[in-house]
Amino acid sequence: MADSTNGSSRSFRVIGTRPIRHDGIEKVTGQAKYGADYAFPGMLYGKVLRSPHAHARIKAIRTEQAAALPGVQAIITGADFPDIPGTTAMMGELIVNTHYLSLNVMARGKVLYDGHAVAAVAATSPHIAEEALRLIEVDYEPLPPVMTAAAAMKPDAPILLPEIRSKFIAGRTDPGSPEGPDQPTNVAAHIQFQRGDLAAGFREADYVVEREFRTATVHQGYIEPHNAVALYNSDGHATIYCSTQGTFNVRTFTATLLKMAEGDIRVVPAEIGGGFGGKTTVYLEPLAVLLARKSGRPVKMTMNRAEVLRASGPTSGTWIKAKMGAARDGKITAAQFWMAYEAGAFPGSPFAPGAMCCTGPYNIPNLLIDSYDVLVNRPKVAAYRAPGSPSSAFACESLLDELALRCGIDPLEMRILNGAHEGTPQPAGPPYKRIGFIETCAAMKNSAHYRSRLEGSNRGRGVAAGFWFNGGLQSSAAVNLHPDGTLSVVTGSVDIGGSRAAMAMVAAEVLGVAAEDVRPIVADTDSIGHTDVTGGSRITLATGMAVYEAAEDVVRQLKQRAAKLWEKKPEEIEFSNGRLSAIDNGVKPLTLKEIATRLARTGGPISGRATLNAGAVGAVGNAFAVTCVDVEVDPDTGKVKILRCTVAQDVGRAIHPAYVEGQMQGGTAQGIGWALNEEYVYDEHGILRNTGFLDYRMPTCLDLPMIETIVVEVPNPGHPLGVRGVGEVSIVSPMAAVANAIYRAVGVRMTELPMPPPRLLKAMLQDQPRTEELHPVAAD
Amino acid sequence: MDKKTVVETTINGEQIEFLCEPRQSLLEVLRDELGMTGSKEGCLTGDCGACTVIIDGRATCSCLMLGVEAQGHKIETIEGLANGAQLHPLQQKFLENASLQCGICTPGILMSAKALLDHNPTPSEAEIRYALAGNLCRCTGYDKIVRGVLDAAKAVASKAA
């Protein structure tokens, strides 16, 4: 270790290498246990009865016939859940209201979306449980559904939750109108960011573009459906095995919803088959505990794919009106965004982060952003990779592309010209610390991809940028030294994509051992200090920082032991590259392995610990990405083929570069799916019509080329290793990059996501006139 | 509920008999009756490929096949891919290439890739993408998966040479 700075000149032994992940063998041999893989003697199978209506009053539920079916052991309905007062709590990146969380896991009074849970059954086989569901009778009084933000904001719209009142007029859809009186509304919340003089800014502009955008509801699309296995003992203690991004969240929420003590619930992290934000809340866990309590037997619950799509996740569909002006030289003079985010049936869309990220990459002197949280009869949204940012970025980056064309400026040059840097105010106000947006744009501009020439008809190249602020939150870590000199690292951060390897590498770096000498463990909620969700790109950043500090705690203790052995003061001992020595060189140095054998004689075992709140200590580092994509549009069908795709991202410091690249590639692939195909399709009754992977069309292997990555490292000054967090920002820019590429390929400006063949073909056949001359992107 | 049927199969080279209800899928039998949970359930409609096993040399979604239909057939699952402690080259190259993130699609992808390499030891990138098109991965963007298969094919070829 050279020093305590995180400057880019620092050299590392382990960080930046690509060791094989510690949990890899189990995952390539089928031994790794995911939530649905747990089984216990006498275990029952739980299934959920879900609403066939988008909006209806529940008049009666009769379960007698179902209860009489042989094999049925327990049935629960809304009547089994206690009433939970409305308190709000932070859930990773989103704020959750526990009253509505309770109503979401099991409906009471009204069902608010197709798929809303109304009852659950536990039986001796999954087939019997499914038969029992068909025997439960529910009387519904259907109510008119409200399916889009535009419909929900109309003055005469049916109201989902009568207790929600807003000082804003429901139906306020024109930017800048005055506040209205207090009345029932589907608009649950509003946020506004404002700076400068908007009117003056637009007057200064030589070019002004104004467009309306729509983005569809999309799902996180993790391959593993939600699951939970619950055991309940007669002493009131419950154990839950589940695939979640946040075991401590599951504990808190399950305890709150069932009025249990948190200490009476232990949550054991199973391996998790993808989450992307969608597994930061609870759906099945409280139901499984209730069924286990009622039946006295272990209960396993798993969703099928249709349930996942109908009742978990997704992220918001949006409706955005945006306007941006620039001077002839390319300087943006003003921008205005009016955005409505569909929350689903309960408040809590990412309308605020969407506004915080919208123009995040740019320094815009005159700015007004309004963002609304709007209730619709769709499933309550959950976090999805950089929640809120992709939709607002689609609008911002599309307008920027048009302005670049009008000004005749290279689109990356346009972004660099207006780019945010240290000291630039964020949309929400506070200035950025050291960030790497300009470096990221420059890296893309110098890339082999961007410098290459794209030839052929119906082909185009598009670029776009994205911003995500990244999370901090709380983490705990312990580092234990074993008698043979190897170590274990224990954290509470569920490993969703290789973070165990990063944790081990951080400890190995500090302690001067090989990554393979450190075994990383993800512990249950009774075995490690509180740790917030695996989300917000925060694990390598925040939990990694806790591991770093816990490893330094081990170093401190090692120095004390050496001092004791050598009869010196701890400050006279040096630790470097895994060796202890005296500053005066008066003794024979000891390796970590050598001193590990002498722990019993020098004071007992060594275990280092650290807990922290990374946000509170200023460790969070903001992330930027730039996507460049080449497309070819089939003029007969409107099908878009991705020819080449490159993503550049400022990661601060890449701990394990292969998994950093993997995050960048994965986010890009999800973004391409969002751009081209993925969308919830509801019929006129508010029933979801595409409840399987055949019709909810995610990218397959055949749809994508190799995804090239450019890892930019501008160290985060707030973090001991310079880490920024890498998980999310790569999903922000692909949608606009693809839309911009389509425009440059066929001259059609797409303002609605997704852009599947029928929609693009229709736009092409409408023969939009080109309003400006096209400029080649990579003129060389 | 219909009576259970005895089914005789060969699973990973071992003769295995099991009892199953006519309505149970092969995936359910593998996971719930035989405790072989390496094959995963992602959709139960044959769209995601997480449950892929190899039946008589052919990659098959075990969620689309009934347990009783396995009578007399040879089944290969992820649990039999390694030869004892010796990983299959696909497994080794997936680890080296960081071809997995969450790992839930990995068993199915490995089995589809094995079925490919068994028939075509030197596939092109396009052939690999075609063979894996029935296996969804939501984490990786497929880049490192395709590289892992390409690398494994090279390793198999150099061993054979």
The B residues from 140 to 159 touching A (CB cutoff 8 Å) are 140-147
Q: What pLDDT score was predicted for residue A166?
A: 63
CA A481 from centre of chain: 34
H helices of A705-746, where? Answer: 734-746
Token pair of A596, please? Answer: 């590990």
Q: What pLDDT score was predicted for residue B158?
A: 87
Interchain contact, B141 vs A668, CB within 8 Å? yes
Confirm or reject contact between B51 and chain A (CB < 8 A).
no
Q: What pLDDT score was predicted for residue A677?
A: 98
Greatest extent of chain A over all pairs of C-alpha atoms, in Å: 87
**Contacting residues of A for B39, CB less than 8 Å apart:** 30
Residue A532 sits in which domain range? 24-32+472-613
Q: What pLDDT score was predicted for residue A4?
A: 41
Residues in chain A: 780
Question: Averaged in consecutive runs of 10 residues, what is the pLDDT profile of chain A (780 residues)?
Answer: 49 97 98 98 98 98 98 98 83 77 97 98 97 98 98 94 69 45 85 95 97 98 98 97 97 96 98 97 98 98 98 97 98 98 96 96 97 97 97 98 98 98 94 97 98 97 97 96 97 96 98 98 98 93 97 97 94 95 91 93 95 92 97 98 98 98 98 98 98 98 98 97 96 98 97 98 79 40
CA A485 to CA A490: how far, in whole Å? 16
Cβ-based neighbours of A766, under 8 Å, separated by 6 or more: none
CATH 1.20.1250.20, domain B89-160, yes or no:
no
CA distances (Å), origin A149, targets A111, A174, A341, A685: 19, 13, 7, 16
Q: Is A519 inside any structural domain?
A: yes
Predicted ipTM beyond 0.90: yes
CA A471 to CA A725: how far, in whole Å? 8
Q: Is A498 inside any structural domain?
A: yes
CA A115 from centre of chain: 23
Q: Is A8 inside any structural domain?
A: no
Instruction: Give the chain A residue nearest B40 (alpha carbons).
Output: A224
Of A220, A304, A497, which has the smallest distance from its Cβ to B101's Cβ? A497
Q: CATH fold of B5-80, please?
A: Ubiquitin-like (UB roll) (3.10.20)
Token pair of A346, please? Answer: 């309960």
Sketch the domain layout of chain B as residue ranges: 5-80, 89-160
Of B42, B96, B146, which has the smallest distance from its Cβ to A20's Cβ? B96
Residues A377 and A112 sit within 8 Å (Cβ to Cβ): yes
Tell me whether residue A180 is exposed, middle or buried, using C-beta atoms within 10 angstroms of its C-beta: 0 to 12, 13 to 18, 19 or more.
middle
Confirm or reject contact between A34 and chain B (CB < 8 A).
yes
Of B97, B98, B107, which has the smallest distance from its Cβ to A30's Cβ? B107
Residues in chain B: 161
Q: Considering only residues A165 and B44, tell me which one the structure prediction assigns the higher pLDDT.
A: B44
Interchain contact, A29 vs B81, CB within 8 Å? yes
Confirm or reject contact between A695 and chain B (CB < 8 A).
no
Q: Is A258 inside any structural domain?
A: no
**Contacting residues of A for B134, CB less than 8 Å apart:** 700
Domains held by chain A: number: 1
- Full 3-state SS string of A38-72: CCCCCCEEEEEEECCCCCEEEEEEECHHHHCCCCE
CB-defined contacts A:B, below 8 A: 183
Q: What pLDDT score was predicted for residue A614?
A: 93
- Sheet containing A487-491: give its strands across: A518-522, A487-491, A474-481, A607-613
Q: What is the CATH number of the domain that holds A597?
A: 3.30.365.10
CA distances (Å), origin A50, targets A77, A110, A192, A256, B5: 11, 12, 37, 23, 33
